[in-house]
Amino acid sequence: MRFSEMTYVRPDIEKTVKRFEELINSFEHAGSFEEEKAIIEQVTVLRKEFESMKSLAAINYSNDTNNASFQEEQDYMDESQPLYEECLTKYCKALVNCRHISDLKKHYGDYLFKLAEMKAKTTNHEVIEDLQKENHLGSQYMKLKASAKIMFRGEEKNLQEMEPYMESEDRETRKEAFHLYWRFFEENAAEFDTIYDKLVYLRNDMASRLGYGNFVELGYNRMSRADYNKSMVEGFRKSIRDYIVPLSMKLREKQRARLGVEKLMVYDLFCQYTTGNSHPKGDPEWILKNGEKMYDELSPETSVFYRYMMENDLMDVISRKGKADMGYCDYIPVYRNPYIFANMNGTDDDITVLTHEAGHAFQSYCNRDFEVFEYMLPSYETAEIHSMSMEFLTYPWMDLFFKEDTEKFKYTHLCNTVHFLPYGVLVDEFQHWVYENPAAKPKERNAKWRELEKIYMPHLNYGDIEYLETGGRWQKQGHIYESPFYYIDYCLAQICAFQFWSNAIHNSAGFGEYLGKYIEVCNIGGSKSFLNVLSSAGLESPFDAGVIKKLAGEIESYLDSVDDNSL
């Protein structure tokens, strides 16, 4: 079914809640395993229907935040979802306390009940109003960013449309664009702070009401982190400081030398070469069409998947006014369809976002037949393995998009994945500090952010941009507002993705074997915890400092072997 044929119908939340509670009551009084299983199947149908309408409302709103009807439905879902989540929590409590749990575990596996145990601790009736407010604030943040109207050389631009100018080979152009881009955030800093103040207060209040010392543990349970904890994450961040930050700094010095500038300024960071960055050689429609050849040749499985996405218009990648400044993949369970949302703008990121979101969508497509709803949706760090590894596995087809600039793209992409890791763990450490110090004022938060930047990204030179020099950069990062603690997931997954680069791309003899491992990871979906997924696929844990040290050394040796001045 084409996306345009999918019908959004506002769910009657009162009827949904009533039916959910009836099913929970029946489950609690079921006299046999067979009865419990039949009720779980009915609950799954109910959940698919509600989750599908929630996804369609969010997709419509993010496609046009100025549409009053779409905003009205998003507001309704922001109000309704916490009521649904309360029912889901009650259901999870019923699951972990059911009469025939041993038989259900034999049928569904233990992991479903571990997930239910964590979910049961995330919501109760006391926090429904706070959850509704939290949802509305997230939508408000999205709309604020989408409202950007930046006048650049006589033309009005949104945030996405400014990005190509920020990586121009002409230094004055990128400097001008960079200043105008961040002026939007500076002019709206007070509103960004107000939104975040309210979010931190709400989340801390909910944690207190639910019996937590602060929001950190609640945040981990929300993220379904079943087999690692805060201490392990701290150790991971240390490994990034020890082995990746020095490599990132070395690559920035090489970039400075390539650009021929005395000092690498913040507005220089997006430009890699005096001859200009690599760019796709066609428009978004051309990119999507070339994607067919790439995925046809990658594997039979990806060929069927991608053609399905194209035939059913399940990708909207054109940037336009009012469209949310983001990229994502969603899944619409009642229609059994993934959906890709992006804002292509003529930069090399157009190809990265295509392969990244296609990785998410491919996993969703692979898991459409899972019996258990939870198993269709992997935890976030597992999900990012699918996306970030796909970025590397498609390297052999980058010539379709970049032609003579293919090697330039691949070198830049690998450098950027290295640069991302220090930033990613910075975001994570910042969020831990915020929720461990929920009474901190905006200036204190900014000061902490700038302090962490000097540890993880010491190359940053903001010049006369006071907004950034005083620590405002974090306000651009949507995850900090909308999905607390969803960022270390990218970093953990990046170490897994580097293993695919190492074994399938750098050592191309292993391509077939590691493509098979990748498809296996996608087929597992959410049926196993993060570390168990890695074990099943024969991947090494990112919590092992030795793994990070080894991969950093291999990447450094490879990048040193490339004559970057010839690109």
Query: What pLDDT is stored for residue 266 in this prediction?
Result: 98
pLDDT, tens only, 370-386:
999 999 989 999 999 99
Distances (CA, A) of 505 to 212, 294, 499, 561: 45, 15, 9, 15
Query: What pLDDT is stored for residue 55 in this prediction?
Result: 98
Is residue 175 domain-resident? no
Task: Determine the residue type at 319.
Answer: S
Is residue 98 domain-resident? yes
Number of domains composing the chain: 1
DSSP symbol at 240: I
What is the pLDDT averaged over residues 141-164? 96
What is the pLDDT averaged over residues 499-527? 97
Task: Determine the residue type at 486.
Answer: Y
Contact status, residue 67 vs residue 322, Cβ threshold 8 Å: yes
- pLDDT grade for 552, boundaries at 50, 70 and 90: very high
What is the pLDDT averaged over residues 199-220? 97
Is residue 44 domain-resident? yes
User: What is the rounded average pLDDT for all residues in the chain?
Assistant: 97
Reduced to 3 states (helix: H, G, I; strand: E, B; else coil), residue 342 is strand
Reduced to 3 states (helix: H, G, I; strand: E, B; else coil), residue 98 is coil
DSSP β-ladder status, 328-332 and 337-344: antiparallel
Largest interatomic CA distance in the chain: 77
Contact status, residue 280 vs residue 397, Cβ threshold 8 Å: no
pLDDT, tens only, 247-269:
999 999 999 999 999 999 999 99
- pLDDT grade for 338, boundaries at 50, 70 and 90: very high
What is the pLDDT averaged over residues 25-54? 97
Tell me: pLDDT of 31 over 90: yes
Is residue 38 domain-resident? yes
Q: How far apart are the first and last CA of the chain?
A: 44
DSSP symbol at 334: T
Q: What is the 3-state secondary structure (H, E, C) of 401-456?
A: HHHHHHHHHHHHHHHHHHHHHHHHHHHHHHHHHHHHCCCCCHHHHHHHHHHHHHHH
Tell me: pLDDT of 295 over 90: yes
DSSP symbol at 476: G
Reduced to 3 states (helix: H, G, I; strand: E, B; else coil), residue 271 is coil
What is the pLDDT averaged over residues 132-157? 96
What is the pLDDT averaged over residues 415-426? 98
Phi and psi (nearest 5°) for 192? -60, -40
State the Cα–Cα distance between residues 549 and 241, nearest whole angstrom: 11
Query: What pLDDT is stored for residue 408 in this prediction?
Result: 97
pLDDT, tens only, 66-95:
999 999 999 999 999 999 999 999 999 999
What is the pLDDT averaged over residues 315-325? 93
- pLDDT grade for 277, boundaries at 50, 70 and 90: very high
Helix ranges, 29-67 (H): 33-63
pLDDT, tens only, 454-468:
999 999 999 999 999
Query: What pLDDT is stored for residue 125 in this prediction?
Result: 93
Phi and psi (nearest 5°) for 12? -80, 105
- pLDDT grade for 147, boundaries at 50, 70 and 90: very high
What is the pLDDT averaged over residues 507-529? 96
What is the pLDDT averaged over residues 366-372? 93
Is residue 10 domain-resident? yes
Query: What pLDDT is stored for residue 1 in this prediction?
Result: 83
Tell me: pLDDT of 312 over 90: yes
State the Cα–Cα distance between residues 134 and 120, nearest whole angstrom: 19
Domain that holds residue 104: 3-137
Is residue 22 domain-resident? yes
Is residue 429 domain-resident? no
Contact status, residue 180 vs residue 152, Cβ threshold 8 Å: yes
DSSP symbol at 318: E
Determine the length of the chain.
Answer: 567
Is residue 43 domain-resident? yes
Query: What pLDDT is stored for residue 547 in this prediction?
Result: 98
Question: Which residues does residue 328 pair with via DSSP β-bridges, in sequence order?
Answer: 341
Tell me: pLDDT of 343 over 90: yes
State pTM to two decimals.
Answer: 0.96
Residue environment code for 360-374, b if the CB has 16+ CB neighbours within 10 A, otherwise e? bbbbbbbbeebebbb
Tell me: pLDDT of 149 over 90: yes
Contact status, residue 340 vs residue 315, Cβ threshold 8 Å: yes
